[in-house]
Structure 1
Amino acid sequence: MDVRDEVAALRARTDRIDPRELDALWARLDVCRPIDLIGYRWRGFAFDTGHRTGTLLDRAHWYGKAFAGESDVQPLLCRGEDGQLFSDIGTGHGEASLWEVVFRGEATATMVYDGMPVFDHFKKVDDDTVIGVMNGKGKLVFDAGEHFWFGLERDVAL
């Protein structure tokens, strides 16, 4: 099974996913560069590990992220009651920027939140799909000692 098939199988699961399965997948993925993300809106999905951030994103009606430029990132694109997408700067405590940061020994594209000590590191499944892992400080990031895992699929050009 290649990594695309493995990601599809993980997304289709109805039981809780052990974060160690995602750790193992992450180790096999190619690093992502900021240029791989910039210029696109990305539709998000969460892996159900039972992490509290998944519930927070569901309540916010999280849609995904938009990367207009290295210092112009909307980390929490959400769908409003009117159906329109908006950048939820309240929940996200501002917006974000995009850097290359070493995480687990590899320099990879990392979204740095403006108003929280939170980093989203990305690795590539393929040109249109990335896996993200939230890192930083606090309960938003760590729930029972585990990271929050999610993915993004390329949506539309900005």
Structure 2
Amino acid sequence: MESMGRQDEMKAWFSSLKPVRPGELIGLWRGAGIPSDHPLDGVLENLGWFGKRFHGDMRADALLFQWRADRLVAIEPRFLPIGLAIKAAPFGRTRVARTWFSYLQKALRARGTTASLALQISGDDATAAMRYDGQPIVDYFRRMNAQELAGMMCVAGDDRRYFFKLRRIDAIAATEA
């Protein structure tokens, strides 16, 4: 099965990267998917995903979207059941989905942080991980270079992994990114 081959390659690549500590993540990060033959490949980008924001209290805005050129909106993941999101992934890559999501962002807005950071075991090492509130999702992080992290989203009960990268940016640059 070709797609599992790509998944296995990506898991091995991710495991080869250096672990990071939760405190190293504090700040604003711009995200982008890394193609891995996962159903969600391309969905977040189509919907205007910006990235993630990690706070000093080890809490996080798990899903930040670009609402307007000058505004980021944190979305509440509890409103988007991950199983349904994966099943609806082909629709999530359409122009119609992008338009609908732009109208729904205000209603889906988080009223606070939506995830927590901690050190967790991933493979043979402990690395920073973000556990979503109210969702069976954990994102693990590893260092690609001085400014970039690789992320691996794990959904309980699903062997497939969604891979993404995060690039640290200044808060001021967020409106220009």
Q: Please give the TM-score of this superposition, normalised by the length of structure 2.
A: 0.68
Q: RMSD in angstroms over aligned alpha carbons?
A: 2.3
Unmatched tracts of structure 1, length 5 or more: 1-16
TM-aligned CA deviation for residue 79 of structure 1: 1.1
Unmatched tracts of structure 2, length 5 or more: 82-107, 173-177
Rg larger for: 2
Aligned: 1:124 with 2:176? no
Contact preservation (8 Å) 2:66, 2:72 = yes
- Distance across 2 between alignment mates of 1:26 and 1:55: 19
Hey, which of these two has a bigger chunk of strand by percent?
Answer: 1
Q: What residue identity is the alignment partner of 1:105? A: D
TM-aligned CA deviation for residue 59 of structure 1: 4.2
Q: Sort the Cα spacing of 1:26 and 1:55 in 2 relative to 1 into closer, same or farther, 3 A.
A: closer
- Distance across 2 between alignment mates of 1:46 and 1:55: 7
How far does the alpha carbon of each residue in 1:44-84 deviate from its partner, in whole angstroms, 9 at most, with x for none?
0111123122344134311100001244200100012x332
Contact preservation (8 Å) 2:10, 2:36 = no
Q: Sort the Cα spacing of 1:87 and 1:108 in 2 relative to 1 into closer, same or farther, 3 A.
A: same
Counterpart in 1 of 2:14?
Answer: 26
Q: Please give the TM-score of this superposition, normalised by the length of structure 1.
A: 0.75
- Distance across 2 between alignment mates of 1:43 and 1:52: 21
Structure 1 consecutive aligned stretches of length 4 or more whose deviation exceeds 6 Å? none
2:154 to 122, 130, 135: 135
Contact preservation (8 Å) 1:36, 1:127 = no
> Any idea what SS the aligned residue of 1:35 has?
helix
**Identity in percent:** 30
